A and B are shown apart, each in its own frame.
Chain A
Amino acid sequence: MPIVKFILSRTWIWSWVAAAGAFMMVMALTQGRGASELAYAALSFGAFAAIVGLGQMLVITLGPGNVDLSIPATMTLAGTLALKTMGSDPNTAILGFTVAIGVGILAGMMNFALIYLLRLPPIIATLAASLIFQSIAIWSNRGLRIKPPEGLADFATGRTFGLPNVALVGLGLSILVWIVLERTVFGRWLLAAGQNLRAARLAGIPVEFVRATTYITVAVFASIAGFFLSSFSGGAALNMGQEYLLTSIAVVVIGGTSIAGGMSNVPGVWGASLFMFLVVSMLNSYGLGAGVRMMLTGTIIIGIVIAASTRRTRA
């Protein structure tokens, strides 16, 4: 029984159970038909949610009040500027990626500057910054969709060893985040700052450096997601990041990361990202109306969060 106990004490297990449940529900309807198709789609689209979710997770880990609401605007800006720079020309993928990363770094620095220099609460600072990012995106290209270079589009929609390339990118980033959190001093600093900022500062941890790095990381992750999403869907659109605002927060919470900060959970973000895609897929497959669908999604999310947090207190 120790194995069962070990598994049940992992808060991330609940998001995976929910994802598997939603998957089985669709399969029950199709009698097993299209299983690999659905799994593939879930991995492709879940990857985008997972990438922005990982960034949001790091920020939320910083402790109460820390959240990045500029993720959608950063995604849009990075996608728009990168695709405009590449202008559909072949062999410009590296250049476009560099532009996207650059946008992420600048956006993150801007967010942190507002938080640190003006002492604004992160919610206000990132929301204000997102209006600026969105406006730059509108101003720079007026919402025209420029096609990604063919090679890049093929990569974004393609697969390697049967797995979607975007999922592999997401997996790589997840491993990186996991190593940083679990095996490096920086990870310890981040967790310590999230558990008690004052104690961490008194212990000699450079908390402002940790905060700055985290806010830049989340923006870079959002930029990477925006870059690949616009390459994946045939161009950047001004409203392309919109749904990732709530999704990024939801996958963190469902994944078992503590909303109070100081505790992260990388596998949970993936389970939750797959679940967020599969639950919509499941409710659509059963032909439920939009109202019922949203109500059920909300109810299921609350259920998972309760299940995950009850486990935590007992453990």
Chain B
Amino acid sequence: MKSLLLSAAAIAMATTAVHADTSGKRIALSNNYAGNSWRQAMLHSWEDVAETAVAAGTVAAADAFTTSENQATEQAAQIQNMILQGYDAIVVNAASPTALNGAVKEACDAGLVVVSFDGIVTEPCAWRIAVDFQEMGRLQVEYLAGRIPDGGKLLEIRGLAGVFVDDEISAGIHKGIEEFPQFEIAGAVHGDWAQDVAQKAVAGLLPSLPDVVGVVTQGGDGYGAAQAFKAAGRDTPLIVLGNRQDEMAWWSEQHADNGYETMSLSIAPGVASLSFWVAQQILDGAEVPKDLSVPFLKVTQDTLDTTLEGTPEGSVATIDYSLDDAKGVIAGAM
């Protein structure tokens, strides 16, 4: 009993300590790109959590900065400015996994905490909140194998050529194909994670594409693919979606019409709020492993309606992570 009381007191002290220790700290978000709905939802999530945390006195400031040209050099300069402005921690979604390492090292040397997420940096002094993109690709094939046991030909829609994430997801998809050899990639196009680009690329490939049973995607391209299939007058194959509201609305319509069922998965833009809390925990003195991972946000037929309801029109499905979620992720990586 005594020990229980003691630990309760310890927890109470620890909780107050959270406020005491970081209330004077300032956190900055260094973001490389704002030009799509996912990034906009991500910035929104950061603003929400930052506003509440500042109002509650958890931290003194949590400002977001976005570079205009999506260039690593520009972002490196931005990080150097943040060091000069005296921030205590920088949360960064990086334009490149390696090109920012110099600036990140400078920040670490100046005593700042650097937490990278989504677009992570390889500099060892920084923390990484990574997404297992390979698993994201593999899972899609696994899902298709469950739905179409006989297998068949697939169309792969890739992202932006030359970007790390595109290579990773695609590698995962090919790993999935090895695991389920009844599937075969009959064609691949680059959709640049944009509906209109994907629509154009798929429309150009369709005339020479044999019948496909499924489409594996990277997010932000499923609706465009569906439009291209429709315009060509072909049956809609099983398209794995990427949590965009227009994709889910289309899915819901199709389900009502003809019982269409699929799966949708992506990283929740709310990962920005998770990163905020992780940075706050590090500033607070918590012991946090350098490599953390975030789960995907997966939408199935059962969760479609509630997810769709909670997603603003034209946006991306998301969840805002709390301090407790962050503690859970940290504990999970210990």
Interface mask (B187-225 → A, CB under 8 Å = 1, otherwise 0): 111101011110111011111110000000000000110
A287 and B187 contact, Cβ closer than 8 Å, known pairs A147-B246, A237-B194: yes
Chain A CB within 8 A of B300 CB: no
Question: What's the Cα separation between A89 and B295 when bound, in Å?
Answer: 38
Is the beta-carbon distance between A284 and B187 smaller than 8 angstroms?
A: yes
**Once bound together, how far apart are the Cα atoms of A240 and B208, in whole Å?**
26
Tell whether, in the assembled complex, residue A30 and residue B208 are in contact, meaning their CB atoms are under 8 Å apart. Answer: yes
A280 on the interface (CB 8 Å rule)?
yes
Q: B35: which A residues are within 8 A, CB to CB?
A: 134, 138, 143, 238-239, 242
User: Which residues of the other chain, A, contact B312 by a CB distance below 8 angstroms?
Assistant: 144
Which stretch from B37-45, B104-112, B257-265, B277-285 is at the chain A interface?
B37-45
In the complex where A146-B313, A284-B189, A290-B161 touch, is A41 in contact with B206 (Cβ < 8 A)? yes
Q: Are B314 and A26 in contact (CB under 8 A)?
A: no
Task: Determine how close the nearest CB of chain B comes to the CB of A230; give it in whole angstroms.
Answer: 8
Q: Are A44 and B314 in contact (CB under 8 A)?
A: no
CB-CB under 8 A from B162, the residues of chain A are 290
Given contacts A233-B227, A284-B188, contact A41 B207 (CB under 8 A): yes
Q: Are B245 and A285 in contact (CB under 8 A)?
A: no
Q: Would B192 and A284 count as touching, CB distance under 8 A?
A: no
Q: Which of A283-298 contact B (CB under 8 A)?
A: 284-285, 287, 290-291, 294
B195 with A237: CB separation less than 8 A: yes
Does more than half of chain A's interface fall in helix, strand or loop, or is it mixed?
Answer: helix
Select which of B36, B194, B232, B245 is within 8 A of A37 by beta carbon: B232
Chain B residues near A (Cβ < 8 Å)? 34-37, 39-41, 44, 68, 158, 161-162, 187-190, 192, 194-197, 199-201, 203-209, 223-224, 227, 231-232, 244-246, 312-315
The answer to whether A26 and B208 touch (CB under 8 A), given A143-B36, A237-B195, A238-B37, is: yes
State whether B196 touches A240 (Cβ < 8 A).
Answer: yes
Residues A237 and B188 in contact, CB atoms below 8 Å apart: no
Chain A residues at the B interface, C-beta cutoff of 8 Å? 26, 29-30, 33-35, 37-38, 41-42, 44-45, 131, 134, 138, 141-147, 157, 229, 232-235, 237-240, 242-243, 277-278, 280-281, 284-285, 287, 290-291, 294
B314 engages A146 (CB within 8 Å): yes
Known: A41-B207, A145-B37. 4 other contacts (CB 8 A): A37-B207, A143-B314, A238-B34, A285-B187
Q: Give the docked Cα–Cα distance between A44 and B196 (Å).
A: 12
Inter-subunit contact A41/B204 (CB<8 Å) = yes
Among the listed A41, A143, A285, A291, which residue makes an inter-chain contact with B40, where contact means beta carbons less than 8 Å apart?
Answer: A143
Name the CB-closest residue of A to B69.
A131
27 A-B residue pairings within 8 Å (CB atoms): A35-B207, A41-B204, A41-B206, A141-B314, A143-B36, A143-B39, A144-B40, A144-B312, A144-B314, A145-B195, A145-B245, A157-B227, A233-B199, A233-B227, A235-B246, A237-B194, A237-B196, A238-B35, A238-B36, A239-B35, A239-B36, A239-B194, A281-B204, A281-B205, A281-B207, A281-B208, A284-B188
Contact between A234 and B195, CB atoms less than 8 A apart: yes
Complex contact A41–B44 (CB within 8 A): no
Q: Of A35, A37, A44, A147, which is in contact with the most chain B CB atoms at under 10 Å from its CB?
A: A37
Nearest Cβ in chain A — how far from B253, in angstroms? 11
Q: Are A233's CB and B224's CB within 8 A?
A: yes
Residues in chain B near residue A45, CB distance under 8 A: 200, 203-204
The interface residues of chain B lying within 8 Å CB-to-CB of A239 are 35-36, 192, 194
Contact of B196 among A35, A38, A229 (CB under 8 A): A229
| Cα–Cα distance between A234 and B244 once the two chains are bound (Å) | 13
Beyond A144-B314, A238-B40, whether A34 also contacts B195 by CB under 8 A is no
Give A97 to B246 CA distance when docked, in angstroms: 23
Check A34–B34 contact: CB distance below 8 A: no
For residue B192, which residues in chain A have a CB less than 8 angstroms away from its CB?
Answer: 239, 242-243
Q: Of all chain A residues, which has the CB nearest B195?
A: A233
- Which interface residue of B158, B200, B201, B232 has the most chain A CB atoms within 10 A? B200
CA distance A199 to B274 in the complex (A): 64
